[in-house]
Structure 1
């Protein structure tokens, strides 16, 4: 059981968590609209990145909306504070959501790196394999955050090994791709590399929060970290990926050609 269920909350703490979760799923809804409306602005070879971004947004929206509903039903207001009633609030569902989202996010990166088919397959296997192992090990570890902090740290540590492997390949492959890209796309790819490092690294801070701050304030902080990390690593990351796809499409002449065709169609009509 997650530590959230073991504590009581004053009205401000409880509302902060509720509002943080609302911010999360509202951001995913906005991201979905953006990816769907900008899909036609990139060349067909990069359009799958927008599709993958849309899948991530739907998946994350459903999870965060369900978490918000769970937060509403798990606690009841008694004697000036919120206490657990009959429900159970679980962060374990986040890991199941990440099993969907992490492969999609990493494959978005593969799409815009401009690699050959064989290299893309190899890198995709490394990315997805490392990402799934990282998530599954963290999923096991979070079950021990109340009963066995040693196990929490141990499973988290093993999970981090796979994250380091993943981070290494992301950093190296982006670096290799930069010389092949136009200046505008390369600049955005550098931002993606740093965003990946920062946003994905703060997830472990939320994971270990029960060990370093096992209080109601710690719960608020953990949900804030998870949500900020989700928005940054999914929505903002996806927007940057789309920007790279647009720049690459423009450099390849696709957007200009399409615009000219639209002008010709209007002239004919």
Structure 2
């Protein structure tokens, strides 16, 4: 039977190791600090959109945790050679792609939840939509995993094809629902939501492409090259589909909050509590830098 590139390749050159190492480090930084930013900023949006921002922060935090695990596992699987330029030989600890699938099994449903939450479709419509999306996302990931861990071309293609069916269904439902929601959205966020539609198709489309890299063969896609390209594709897609997408969700929530309640403006000194905005003003006449908190009621 035709063999695909091995799940655990025998060795990585110093350059390829550094490329994957730096990509994992970049993913951790982007996801971790985006999560922190969203947690700190969630009170800058109205209550009805706050859940979407918190879910976005949770998605990034879960992904950052799993990238820590992937990063440590990668170092253990390919320890350094005796010299700086020597190849990193595979140890007796295999590189575990399962971390990614556990991450996706948790974060993809949450990504769908944050998208639906920020659209504010109404409880009944949201529940109906999530009932379609969540099972499809779980099925997509479950079907993709057996193909990810196989060394053979045919099983990888079979499981990848099966996983693509719920994947296409997800994209279709989301694209249609996002298009329908445009009629009910303020003009100020319509452009951003249109971009979200494109981002869903474009960014999510990177995953199946990266999935196929190891079986394309050749000097560029086979062996080390296929491994590096797959890790690069997955990592960059995760950064954009989770961190960048979460920031876009926050932008939509922020704009809609300001339109529905003028108190949610862009004033840099405003901190929004559950009962309204609280303004912090520095009293600087005597140089003490004391903070005077005054609450403004609607």
TM-score by length of 1: 0.93
Checking the alignment, whether the CA contact within 8 Å between 2:57 and 2:246 is kept in structure 1 is no
Which of residues 168, 171, 174 in structure 2 aligns to 1:170? 174
Contact 2:59 2:110 in 1 (8 A): yes
Alpha-carbon contact 1:130-1:162 (below 8 Å) kept: yes
Q: Does 1:211 align with 2:223?
A: no
Change (3 A) 1:10 1:261: closer
Say yes or no: does 1:54 pair with 2:57: yes
Higher strand share: 2
Q: Deviations over 1:208-239 (max 9, x none)?
A: 11101221122111111001100010001100
**Which has more helix, going by share of residues?**
1
Equivalent residue, structure 2, for 1:9: 12
**In 2 relative to 1, CA 58–159 (structure 1 residues): closer, same or farther, beyond 3 Å?**
same
Partner of 2:71: 68
Cα shift at 1:263: 4.9
Quote the Cα distance in structure 1 between the aligned partners of 2:279 and 2:87.
Answer: 63
Relative to structure 1, the CA distance from residue 214 to residue 246 in structure 2 (aligned partners, 3 Å threshold; closer, same or farther) is same
- How far is the alpha carbon of 1:82 from its aligned partner? 1.0
1:38 corresponds to which residue?
41
Contact 1:134 1:163 in 2 (8 A): yes
Q: 1:228 aligns with which of 231, 236, 252?
A: 236
User: Alpha-carbon deviation of 1:2?
Assistant: 8.2
Unmatched tracts of structure 2, length 5 or more? 266-271, 281-292
2:136 matches 1:130:
yes
Rounded Cα–Cα distance in structure 2 between residues aligned with 1:24 and 1:155: 27
CA displacement, residues 122-148 of structure 1 (integer Å, 9 cap, x when unaligned): 10111111111111111122122x1x2
Higher relative contact order (CA 8 A, sep 6+): 1
Aligned residues: 266
Give the Cα–Cα distance (whole angstroms) in 2 for the partners of residues 53 and 262 of structure 1: 25
- Matched-pair contact (CA < 8 Å) for 1:2–1:91: no
